[in-house]
Structure 1
Amino acid sequence: MTQYLIFLLAFAASAALPGPEIAALLSRSLAGGWRSSLPLASGIIIGKLIMLSAAVIGLSALLAILGPAFVTLKYAGAAYLVWLGIKKWRAAGQALPSAANAPATGIIVEIGLGLAMTVTNPLAIAFYMALLPGVINVAGVSWPSYLILCGIIAGAMLAIVLAYGLLAELARKMFRSAHAKARLERASGGMMVGVGIVLAAR
């Protein structure tokens, strides 16, 4: 059990650090409430589970095979984030549609964006290539151990999403006036553009 506890602490500390993924989640929560960040969070979680699976089967070999696909995903995700940020900035102060009424295609795109952000993140790749083998014997991972690791990743990410979502909800409640709300939405749009630029540049 010690190795799983060490993995949990290391993963949670790494995943909770402010970065493009956290900035994107915060931006979503600021713009439409914490529930609006769930599709993006789902994509991030799926991406992290894929990274874990790739580490178990051989991450270096997978990167060599799918290298061009990772580059395409990175730039597509970056362009989409910049477009969303500009759109959010221009619409600041206007009534926002309910997250519950978001079209299915939008949800699918959000999941794909979260997935792309995660699998093209060099820090995530370094985490699974460098830290994971030092904590877990990936060569000897059994199905039960694999499922425990998946549960740790999913549980830790959900806790992180909820924590940042609650912080965003508090910020939304503090900025109730139309002027303050517009500034908050412009900040959200600016964060999206910034995340897109960082994603393209890294």
Structure 2
Amino acid sequence: MNPYLLFFLAFASSAAVPGPEIAALLSRSLSHGMRSSLPLAVGIISGKLVMLTTAVLGLAVLLHVLGPAFALLKWAGVGYLLWLGINKWRKAGKPLTTAEASLGKPSLEFGLGMAMTLSNPLALAFYMALLPNVIPLADIGPGSYLLLCGIIIATMLLITLGYGLLAEASRAVFRSPRAKANIDRGSGSIMLGVALLLASR
């Protein structure tokens, strides 16, 4: 089997499994629509590209040295998610103000996506274990590296689109004020759950 196809299948099957990143994307899409989850998705994809680059360059040691900085990222993400979750519960069913509807601060959403990905120690282990068995690290040149980046970006865009469309369909079905309140509470609960998952890693 083609090694890049093998990498794609392994990465796609791992990335598509609902975890903290997918749960956060779903929650964001349920609350404010699919478009609102884009900064978060870009942050998650960027984090995965950083992890791939780190694995390719063999910088696992650097990650170990920078451990405290990554721990800070993790706890900042946990705090932000807790705040989002509690806020959704407090305002469940209430009409959005213009400021809330526009979401604002995409940099925070981007940072959250990066933090969730980079604070996961299993992510680097995945790349470090997969790559040598599929494509020897010594054989990865600029062209191979760009192809791997393209696979990650395309796969994550498809996964984000799939889950986003699922959330959009749910929003279209539940339009009454009571249903909105339930969606808000569900979205808030997902955010709180993601915060607990992150904290436990």
Using structure 1 for the length normalisation, give the TM-score.
0.94
CA distance in 2, matches of 1:136, 1:167: 34
Residue 149 (structure 2) pairs with residue 150 (structure 1): yes
Using the TM superposition, give the Cα deviation of residue 126 of structure 1 relative to its aligned residue in structure 2, in angstroms. Answer: 2.1
Query: What per-residue deviation string (whole Å, max 9, x for no partner) do you get for residues 69-124 of structure 1?
Result: 11111111011101111011111112234888333xx1001101100100111331
Q: Deviations over 1:44-90 (max 9, x none)?
A: 00000000000011142122221111111111101110111101111
The aligned runs of 1:115-130 (5 Å cut-off) are: 115-130=114-129
Amino acid at match of 2:34: W
Residue correspondences, number: 200
Task: Provide the rounded CA distance (Å) in 1 between the counterparts of 2:42 and 2:51.
Answer: 14
Deviation at 1:130, TM superposition (A): 1.2
Matching residue of 2:111: 112
Alignment map for 1:50-199 (pairs within 5 Å): 50-96=50-96, 97=98, 101-103=102-104, 106-199=105-198
Provide runs of 4+ in structure 1 moved above 6 Å.
Answer: none
Report the equivalent of 2:36: 36
RMSD of aligned Cα (Å): 1.5
Between the aligned partners of 1:84 and 1:139, the Cα distance in structure 2 is: 43
Please tell me whether the aligned partners of residues 35 and 99 of structure 1 are also in contact (alpha carbons under 8 angstroms). no
Q: Distance in 2 between matches of 1:31 and 1:193?
A: 14
1:165 positional shift: 0.3
What amino acid is the match of 2:153? A
Q: Partners of 1:178 and 1:148 in 2: how far apart?
A: 47
Structure 2 counterpart of 1:20, which letter? P
What code does the residue aligned with 1:118 have?
A: T
For each residue in 1:136-177, what CA deviation from the matched residue of structure 2 results, as whole angstroms up to 9, or x when unmatched?
Answer: 212221101111111100000000000000000111111111
Contact in 2 for aligned 1:32/1:98 (Cα 8 Å):
no
Alpha-carbon distance between aligned partners in 2 of 1:23 and 1:64, rounded to the nearest angstrom: 27
- Deviation of 1:181 (Å): 1.0
Work out the CA distance in 2 between the residues paired with 1:41 and 1:132: 24
Q: Which runs of 5+ in 1 are unaligned?
A: none
* Deviation sequence 1:25-53 (CA, Å, 0-9, x none): 00000000111110000000000000000
Alpha-carbon distance between aligned partners in 1 of 2:132 and 2:91, rounded to the nearest angstrom = 46
TM-score w.r.t. structure 2 length?
0.95
Point out where structure 2 has 5 or more consecutive residues left out of the alignment: none
C-alpha separation in 1, matches of 2:10 and 2:148: 12
